[in-house]
Amino acid sequence: MQKLVLMTLILISPLAWSAEHKVKMLNQGEDGSMVFEPGYLQVEPGDTVTFVPVDQSHNTHSALSPDGGESWKGSINEKVSVTLNTEGVYIYKCLPHLSLGMVGVIQVGEATNLQAAKDKAASMKGGMAMNKDRLGQYLDQVE
Ligand SMILES: [Cu+2]
């Protein structure tokens, strides 16, 4: 009987539900060239996202996080894992390919800072020569 209670506690613990997600860094993907895939990702607080350098010469840098949220800075070709505990919208970029629109969005739980994310996207758009609309399209998927 005690065993059953313990099992139940493990099953309802939030940690038991935390998931792992992968974002690939690609030269070519479904959304075009120089791209994170998936470019928009929705996760739950406590989930872990791993950026996988499938193709060479990419990295991942957070560009906007909600207040108190996690930030990260990967080196070129570095596989980066980040556990996102703070709810909100995160924008990140590939530093060498920011001007080619290599950016991505992660929504963690509630989109608490959606307006700030939209403002940031508008300011980043000016520095892009290609795929200018990609970031806005990802933000449009935020629920
Ligand atoms: Cu890149």
CATH of the domain at 122: 2.60.40.420
CA of 25 to the centre of ligand 1 (A): 7
Question: What total number of domains does the chain contain?
Answer: 1
The closest alpha carbon to 83, from 38, 36, 45, belongs to 45
CA of 96 to the centre of ligand 1 (A): 6
Residue 83, pLDDT score: 97
Alpha-carbon distance of 112 to 96, in angstroms, equals 29
Q: Decide if 72 is inside a domain.
A: yes
Q: Decide if 12 is inside a domain.
A: no
CA of 89 to the centre of ligand 1 (A): 21
Q: Decide if 50 is inside a domain.
A: yes
Alpha-carbon distance of 69 to 106, in angstroms, equals 12
Q: Decide if 98 is inside a domain.
A: yes
How does pLDDT run across 65-106, given as a tens digit for each residue?
Answer: 999 999 999 999 999 999 999 999 999 999 999 999 999 999
What is the value of pTM for the model shown? 0.89
Domain residues for 123?
Answer: 18-139
CA of 76 to the centre of ligand 1 (A): 9
Q: Decide if 124 is inside a domain.
A: yes
Q: Decide if 79 is inside a domain.
A: yes
How does pLDDT run across 4-38, given as a tens digit for each residue?
Answer: 665 655 555 555 678 999 999 999 999 999 999 99
